[in-house]
Amino acid sequence: MAVINGSSRENGNTDALTQKALDGIRYTSFYLKNYKINPIDDQRHVAGGFDKVEDDYDELISQVLQHDVLIFATPVYWYGMSGVMKNFVDRFSQSLRDEALNFKKSMSDKKAYVITVGGDHPRIKALPLIQQFQYIFDFLGTEFAGYLIGEANAPTEIFSDALSLENALTFNKALLKHTEK
Amino acid sequence: MAVINGSSRENGNTDALTQKALDGIRYTSFYLKNYKINPIDDQRHVAGGFDKVEDDYDELISQVLQHDVLIFATPVYWYGMSGVMKNFVDRFSQSLRDEALNFKKSMSDKKAYVITVGGDHPRIKALPLIQQFQYIFDFLGTEFAGYLIGEANAPTEIFSDALSLENALTFNKALLKHTEK
Amino acid sequence: MAVINGSSRENGNTDALTQKALDGIRYTSFYLKNYKINPIDDQRHVAGGFDKVEDDYDELISQVLQHDVLIFATPVYWYGMSGVMKNFVDRFSQSLRDEALNFKKSMSDKKAYVITVGGDHPRIKALPLIQQFQYIFDFLGTEFAGYLIGEANAPTEIFSDALSLENALTFNKALLKHTEK
Amino acid sequence: MAVINGSSRENGNTDALTQKALDGIRYTSFYLKNYKINPIDDQRHVAGGFDKVEDDYDELISQVLQHDVLIFATPVYWYGMSGVMKNFVDRFSQSLRDEALNFKKSMSDKKAYVITVGGDHPRIKALPLIQQFQYIFDFLGTEFAGYLIGEANAPTEIFSDALSLENALTFNKALLKHTEK
């Protein structure tokens, strides 16, 4: 299991809720902010296809693909995933053209979960983000196995939001059950 | 009027549709790809607030804010705005803390439009993106005055999508009418 | 082509916009308010299945199914389709169990459009309704070929909403083109 | 506290989940199927306004309004609330014109929750329904205090869906906490 974390901070609320949600589960964390990931340069329709990009994406995605279960953990920034995570996801278009990677087939064998934490009514206002992830996973054939929405703003606030913590516990149980199968 | 363009390419479909939609209207274009805009480092809750960032964002946003009508033009990448545009929007959080900028007041006096072009059923699958923009504009107090969704994939494909072109024409008329007021 | 109209009034805004949108096209109208359609009694899991219902639904649905293109025309009531139309749609569950009808196969060969008119920012606030129709048509295998959202409140207001009328014209062109195929 | 139940069956999955979610809480149930509620006849713009309707709605809504917390409990039928519940909600338009009722003021002092149970990926496909309820409550000024989505199809299936039951338990805790305030 791998966590792809789109926060700009470590030890923020998204991190904290993710750790609660994954308690007792072994997983690898990828903090996107620690990688150099360029925005996509859309060369899908250019003769010769995508140029090689001098950044960390190729290495990162090949590591990510070694995991069967992916957790996309992102703060809700402006009612969407963070820009850092969006740049990562945008580069999937490049991976789709990378024949050696077998990207779509690989993703279609995986389960994905989303964990997201926001400050402004996220249980309503992060729903377009959940719907966006649904379309992403539908396209890739990835099973969208569940999501967890937390509410918090200032650091450590998540620890005082009882509903978020209860939901994390429930998410944890479901995840343990799914990963046992 | 200013167009904030989140494409990775100039002269792509988003560009083409935007030009159709703005035919006969004077506007300034900001191609985000031509600016260095770092991802947000969320320091809202750090003593001392946001550090000064060495990139083009501050200069760019101050130029953008001089316009009364903003057009957010973005390709639909993975059922959302491009990462380049998302990084730009994420930095609004920094602008909100910049007292000299009077960001929220300034944005609350503006009208905004969204133009977006996608290849995979965008009139359905870009709706979460439209809903996300609604939440963004609601937060800022900006009037969300309209949106235009185009369908195209390969370059210049937009020119053969009659529905997109018709809708651009209608959008153009509405925009002309709005901007006259 | 058949129009399934969920208005409580004839000659209301939904009716008016639908007529604009279908100008020059031959179609059959079914005004749901003129039929007795009981709410579903969910007997999917009852031994013996659904009881025969003494109302007009069976006769109506068999007439509807004779058309290749279906237009669902409904006012936006409380950010959704009208209750009259919802009761009609709910009864599809009964049709699914009616072997003689071959309902799902029949629906999967059709194209569907949605026309809806609302008074409170329908181009944003009717989007969940559009998404709901997408799920309905996805389930049935029906092609969701397009939708038209009009804005109006008091009777005849639709005639003074230039954007609605322009969009109806565009819809009309698209429909003419589709139906020619 | 009042539960407004839109099921066509008593003792179905929606009922069962609602009972779990409200365990230990005193509440009044209104099973809409036991009331005669006509579809709205939209007479908002008719001279003289709405005619008196010979059904149970007026009596029902006056009882409902006596409660501070409203739970809208509905099965997910065709990715929306049941037709029976939609007809009930549609009649709110009539209540808005009933000066004696003071409907909007009364609703703006209440908290509302939604409980819904569906069979086809409701945690994704019932999200438009949640968004619709958000718009309804926004319009009325009612606080949308939370929602619970269960997954079940055949009768009693809800009892074997661990995630639904866990979520009901969490919902119950949150509700107990809210209602104590």
pLDDT of amino acid B47 = 82
How distant is the Cα of A39 from the closest Cα of chain B, in angstroms?
6
Q: What is the number of alpha carbons within 13 Å of residue B170 lying toward its C-beta?
A: 22
**The two three-digit tokens of residue B122, written as one number:** 């965008």
User: What global pTM score does this model have?
Assistant: 0.96
D chain contacts of residue C77, beta-carbon cutoff 8 Å:
40, 42, 86, 89-90, 93
State whether B86 and A80 contact (CB < 8 Å).
Answer: yes
- Hey, is the C-beta of A33 within 8 angstroms of any chain B C-beta? yes
Q: How confident is the model at residue B31 (pLDDT cuts 50, 70, 90)?
A: very high
Identity of the residue in B42, B89, B129 whose CB atom sits nearest the CB atom of A8: B42
The rounded mean pLDDT for chain D is 94
CA-CA distance, A31 to A71, in Å (whole number)? 12
pLDDT of amino acid D43 = 84
- In chain B, the residue whose alpha carbon lies closest to the alpha carbon of C130 is B124
Counting residues of chain A whose pLDDT is more than 70, the rounded percentage is: 99
For chain C, give the number of residues.
Answer: 181
DSSP state of D8: S
The rounded mean pLDDT for chain B is 94
CA-CA distance, C75 to C91, in Å (whole number)? 20
Identity of the residue in D144, D166, D167 whose CB atom sits nearest the CB atom of A124: D144
Higher-pLDDT residue of B46 and C87 is: C87
pLDDT of B181 above 60:
no
The arithmetic mean of pLDDT across residues B16-34, rounded, is 96
pLDDT of amino acid C102 = 95
CA-CA distance, B169 to B163, in Å (whole number)? 10
C20-59 pLDDT tens trace: 999 999 999 999 999 999 999 888 888 888 888 899 999 9
pLDDT of amino acid D180 = 66
Q: Which residues contact C100 (CB under 8 A, 6 or more apart)?
A: none
Identity of the residue in B127, B134, B166 whose CB atom sits nearest the CB atom of C170: B166
Q: Which residues contact A119 (CB under 8 A, 6 or more apart)?
A: A76, A151, A152, A153
Q: Tell me which of C40, C76, C86, C144 to substitute to probe the interface with D (most D C-beta atoms closer than 10 Å).
A: C86
pLDDT of amino acid C181 = 55
DSSP state of D52: P
- Chosen CATH of C2-180 out of 3.40.50.360, 3.10.290.10, 3.30.830.10, 3.40.50.720: 3.40.50.360
pLDDT of A181 above 60:
no
Q: What is the CB neighbour count within 10 angstroms for residue D121?
A: 14
Burial status of residue C146 (CB atoms within 10 A of its CB: 0-12, 13-18, 19 or more): buried
- Hey, is the C-beta of C113 within 8 angstroms of any chain B C-beta? no
First-to-final CA distance of chain D = 14
Q: Of C27, A8, D47, C154, nearest to B91 (Cα)?
A: A8
Burial status of residue D148 (CB atoms within 10 A of its CB: 0-12, 13-18, 19 or more): buried
pLDDT tens per residue, chain D (181 residues)?
999 999 988 889 999 999 999 999 999 999 999 999 999 988 888 888 888 889 999 999 999 999 999 999 999 999 999 999 999 999 999 999 999 999 999 999 999 999 999 999 999 999 999 999 999 999 999 999 999 999 998 888 999 999 999 999 999 999 998 776 5
pLDDT of amino acid D181 = 55
pLDDT of amino acid B180 = 66
Q: Tell me which of B137, B164, B170 to substitute to probe the interface with C (most C C-beta atoms closer than 10 Å).
A: B170
**The two three-digit tokens of residue C100, written as one number:** 């003689």
C chain contacts of residue D154, beta-carbon cutoff 8 Å:
45
Handedness of CA D91, D97, D98, D103 (dihedral sign): positive
Neighbours of chain A (3+ CB pairs under 8 A): B, D
The arithmetic mean of pLDDT across residues B26-32, rounded, is 97
State whether B124 and C144 contact (CB < 8 Å).
Answer: yes
CA-CA distance, D125 to D128, in Å (whole number)? 7
The answer to whether residues B46 and A76 touch, using CB atoms and an 8 Å cutoff, is no
A111-157 pLDDT tens trace: 999 999 999 999 999 999 999 999 999 999 999 999 999 999 888 89
pLDDT of amino acid A164 = 93
Burial status of residue A49 (CB atoms within 10 A of its CB: 0-12, 13-18, 19 or more): exposed
How distant is the Cα of A53 from the closest Cα of chain D, in angstroms?
36
Q: Of C48, C117, C134, C34, nearest to C79 (Cα)?
A: C117
A75-122 pLDDT tens trace: 999 999 999 999 999 999 999 999 999 999 999 999 999 999 999 999
Which residue in this structure is represented by tokens 């069979």? Answer: D119
CA-CA distance, D6 to D130, in Å (whole number)? 15
C74-119 pLDDT tens trace: 999 999 999 999 999 999 999 999 999 999 999 999 999 999 999 9
Burial status of residue B36 (CB atoms within 10 A of its CB: 0-12, 13-18, 19 or more): exposed
Q: Tell me which of D170, D172, D176 to substitute to probe the interface with A (most A C-beta atoms closer than 10 Å).
A: D170
Give the containing element (helix H, strand E) for C83: helix C83-90
CA-CA distance, A160 to C72, in Å (whole number)? 47
State whether A42 and B86 contact (CB < 8 Å).
Answer: no
Q: Of B95, B167, B94, nearest to B126 (Cα)?
A: B167
pLDDT of amino acid A105 = 97
A28-86 pLDDT tens trace: 999 999 999 999 988 888 888 888 889 999 999 999 999 999 999 999 999 999 999 99
Size of interface C-D (CB pairs under 8 A): 122
- Hey, is the C-beta of D162 within 8 angstroms of any chain A C-beta? yes
- Hey, is the C-beta of C147 within 8 angstroms of any chain B C-beta? yes
Counting residues of chain C whose pLDDT is more than 70, the rounded percentage is: 99
Q: What DSSP string runs through C133-155?
A: HHHHHHHHT-EEEEEEEEE--ST
- Hey, is the C-beta of C124 within 8 angstroms of any chain B C-beta? yes
- Hey, is the C-beta of D8 within 8 angstroms of any chain C C-beta? yes
The residue ranges of every structural domain in chain C are 2-180
C127-137 pLDDT tens trace: 999 999 999 99
Size of interface A-D (CB pairs under 8 A): 39
- Hey, is the C-beta of A49 within 8 angstroms of any chain B C-beta? no
